[in-house]
Structures are given as C-alpha cells and as structure tokens.
Structure 1
Amino acid sequence: MNLDSYKYIVVEGPIGVGKTTLVNKIAMHLGGRVLLEQPQANPFLEKFYRDAPRYALSTQMFFLFQRINQLRDFSTTLAQNDLFDSPGHLVADFLLAKDPIFARLTLADEEFKLYQQMYDHLRPQAATPDLVIYLQAEPETLIERIKKRGIEMEASISPEYLARLCESYSRFFYHYDEAPLMIVNNEHLDLAGNDADFSLLLARIDGMRGKREFFNRGE
C-alpha cells in the first residue's frame, strides 16, 4: 500500500522528535487535514516545567480531557462525513493510548491511580489509525532540537526526563499492535527540509509488507 491508501495516519514520538513537522509535511503531500495536540492551551504546562511534583496531576488531566475532546470531535466529523469512504485524509500527532506514558512518569502512585480511573472511565471508542509512524531520536538530540526551537518554558526539561520518556515510548511501541507501525530513526533525517529524505520515507511506507517495519537511513 502507498501512503495515499491510508486515510487516518498518526505520527508519534517524544517531545522534540519532529512529530508536528512531519504531520504537516504528510498532510500537505496528501492534501489532507491535521489534528494536532495543543500544548500552548494547557494553563498548567509552564508551571509543570517549573515545579513538576506540584502541577503534574493538573497538567496531565488537562491534556487527557483535551485529547479526548479532540478525538470525540473527530469521531463526530467521521460519522457525519464518512471520511474513510471519501478521498480525504487526516494526519494527527498523537495517540490517546500513549497518554498514560506521561502520567506514569510524572504522577505519584496515588495520583496515578486516580488518573487511571478517569482515563478508563472517559476514554472514547476512537477510530484505529490506518498507519502509525513512530519517530525515535537520542535524548541528546532531542535536547538540542528543543533548544533550537527556543520555547522558553521547555528550557528546564532535563536530559534525565527525556531519557526516561524515550525509554517509556520504546516499551509502549514494543507492545503496540493495534495498527501497522513504521518505526523511524529520525536521528539523521531532515524530513521537513530535505525532499530526498521525505521521499525515502514515503518509499519505505509504500514498500511495507508486514505490520511492523523499521527505517534507519544512518549517517
């Protein structure tokens, strides 16, 4: 199957790995719509970066409600417009199923139990993606990319936190089998600025034969 065959595509990975950039690139290539996380709308996020133990629960719960509402709106649109029977494409930069990754990293045990109850109770029956692209990069690379984009509240993100986050993502996607999965080492790729790199990725997606494949261009 080529990329055009996938109607609902999700790009995932840790902060700074290039999710949103690739989502916009794919959506432009396909003439599709985007569904993006909106971290700037979370009023607790900047406080979380300054004092994680105090603001972790409120930050996590805001993101949970935000993602659930976005997916419910998407499901409503899907039901009304029958997206999967139309030429349209939707490209998103998050999976709701990854939400507990952050919760487990940042919440105390009792807070996580409360979060898990809310997650289990509120989680909608969201559509399964046709393809998930999981971007990977080393924590040191993520730190450099975060510094380059210069978002002030992200300046306090520690290498230790990013290392734990990357490990948690790796564990999550090691077991993930809900949709076809392309694992992409984004360490030495420029998927936004280099058309040759983007074309390489498209070719690898077109050539997928199994449900899980890995793309590593190397240096």
Structure 2
Amino acid sequence: MAEVPFIAIEGPIGIGKTSLAEKLSAHFGCHLLKEIVEENPFLGKFYDNIEEWSFQTEMFFLCNRYKQLEDIEQYYLNQNKGVIADYHIFKNMIFARRTLPADKFDKYKQIYHILADDMPLPNMMIYLHASLDTILERIRLRGREIEHNIKSSYLAQLAQDYEDYMNEFERRHPNIPVIRINGDDVDFVNHQQDLDDIIDHVGQHLANLQAIAKR
C-alpha cells in the first residue's frame, strides 16, 4: 500500500509554520491540520507570568493536540488521506521542559507519554528556524495582541531548545527526512521562487516515500 503523507512543520513561535502548512496543503491536496493557539484561555496569562500559568497552559495544549492527532489518524491517515500539520505533539515536551518546575514537569511527562506514545509519527518533518531578529520581526508583523509580552530571552532560549530537539529527533528517527529551512535566507510568503523551491524539495521526498512503499 502506498505511503500516506503525514508532514509536520515545526519551529519557534512566529517562524511561519501555519503559512507554509496552508500553502503546501493546498498544493499537494492534503488535509490541513492547524494547532489551537489563541483559543487557549491561559496563554495571555502565561506570557505575563510563565511560572504561575505554565502547567495550565501546557495541559490545555497537550489535551487539544492529542485529540486533534487522534482525529486525523482515524479520519484521514487510516483512510489513506494525506495530512500536513503546522505542528507535531512532540513540541509539548520542548515547551514543558523549559517552563515547568521539576515536580510538575515529572507529572506532566508521565501524562504526555500515556497520551502521545502511540500517536502517529510524521513521515516527513519540515523544520523552520531563523535568527532572533527575524523571529521578532515576524511576530511583530503578524500582530497578535496575545504575543506582545513575550520576552526576547524566552524566544532565544526556545529557538535553541528547538535546535537541540531537532538534532535529537534526527538521531532517534534516521528514516524520517527532516527538511531544514533557514528563515533568514528564505521568505516563502513574499517570494514565489522560495516557495517553489520548497515545494520541489517536498515533492522529491514524497516521491521517495512512494517508491519505498512500493518495494
């Protein structure tokens, strides 16, 4: 049976995950899975006081992302319909490890593994990364009021956490291709050629997946 595309796009806040997911899902005719962000009732409080509101914020995200992935597995992947997502549930551990105190992180980690360990892995990852200046500018341009109080130091550490995690992901899952895109050099929103190059790259990997599945 042909390999069903499940592409997850990841990277720090404001890097352009949703924009790219929308463009790729439209091009390749895949279902678009978008994470719930602004609907999180704790997020604004979290950016004001991370220590006070981190556990509530992370638990809301975990439960909603679990339900979303459960649904796409049942209604899309198991029905041979491709999915392109602007996140994967592994990101929860990146944020939780950074924001939760040790005792709450231990509890959170147990819940995470109970929920997430049998969730489907993507068969392709796209990792968007950029310098802090680029990330800050893109957050400013999209103008979400809820993000006005994000500290630069938090974003810088988050970017490094993502880099560390993606390196680990490649070591742990050598058979899952990771496409790395440097946002300092690539602007797929405003430059069609940059988008076309990404589409070509993704298309080549999808062709490889199909070829492997037919062996």
What TM-score, normalized to structure 1? 0.85
Q: Hey, what's the Cα distance between the residues in 1 that align with 2:138 and 2:88?
A: 22
Q: Counterpart in 2 of 1:151?
A: 144
Q: Is contact 1:68-1:124 (8 Å) kept?
A: no
Q: Counterpart in 1 of 2:43?
A: 45
Q: Counterpart in 2 of 1:183?
A: 180
The 3-state SS of whatever aligns with 1:134 is: strand
Q: Counterpart in 2 of 1:217?
A: none
The 3-state SS of whatever aligns with 2:122 is: coil
Q: Counterpart in 1 of 2:5?
A: 7
The yes-or-no answer on 1:55 pairing with 2:61 is: no
Q: Hey, what's the Cα distance between the residues in 2 that align with 1:78 and 1:24?
A: 17
Any idea what the Cα deviations from partners look like across 1:38-72, whole Å, max 9, x if unmatched? Answer: 11111101111111111000000100001101011
Q: Counterpart in 2 of 1:23?
A: 21
Q: Hey, what's the Cα distance between the residues in 2 that align with 1:203 and 1:162?
A: 30
- How many residues are treated as equivalent by the alignment? 200
Q: Counterpart in 2 of 1:198?
A: 195
Amino acid at match of 2:184: E
CA shift for structure 1 position 37 = 0.6
- 1:7-156 map, 5 Å: 7-78=5-76, 82-83=79-80, 88-156=81-149
CA shift for structure 1 position 176 = 0.9
CA shift for structure 1 position 206 = 4.6
The 3-state SS of whatever aligns with 1:176 is: helix
Q: Is contact 1:25-1:192 (8 Å) kept?
A: no
The 3-state SS of whatever aligns with 2:61 is: helix
Q: Hey, what's the Cα distance between the residues in 2 that align with 1:206 and 1:117?
A: 37
Q: Hey, what's the Cα distance between the residues in 2 that align with 1:6 and 1:68?
A: 20
Any idea what the Cα deviations from partners look like across 1:158-184, whole Å, max 9, x if unmatched? Answer: 110011001100010111133211111
Q: Hey, what's the Cα distance between the residues in 2 that align with 1:9 and 1:91?
A: 5
CA shift for structure 1 position 26 = 0.2
RMSD over aligned Cα atoms? 1.8
Q: Is contact 1:34-1:91 (8 Å) kept?
A: yes
Query: Structure 1 regions of 5+ residues with no counterpart?
Result: 212-219
What TM-score, normalized to structure 2? 0.87
Any idea what the Cα deviations from partners look like across 1:112-135, whole Å, max 9, x if unmatched? Answer: 111111112222512221211000
Q: Hey, what's the Cα distance between the residues in 2 that align with 1:77 and 1:182?
A: 26
Q: Is contact 1:6-1:131 (8 Å) kept?
A: no
Query: Structure 2 regions of 5+ residues with no counterpart?
Result: 209-215
Q: Hey, what's the Cα distance between the residues in 2 that align with 1:115 and 1:206?
A: 37
Q: Out of 54-63 and 112-121, give the one that drifted further.
A: 112-121
The 3-state SS of whatever aligns with 1:96 is: coil
Q: Hey, what's the Cα distance between the residues in 2 that align with 1:128 and 1:109?
A: 27
The 3-state SS of whatever aligns with 2:38 is: helix
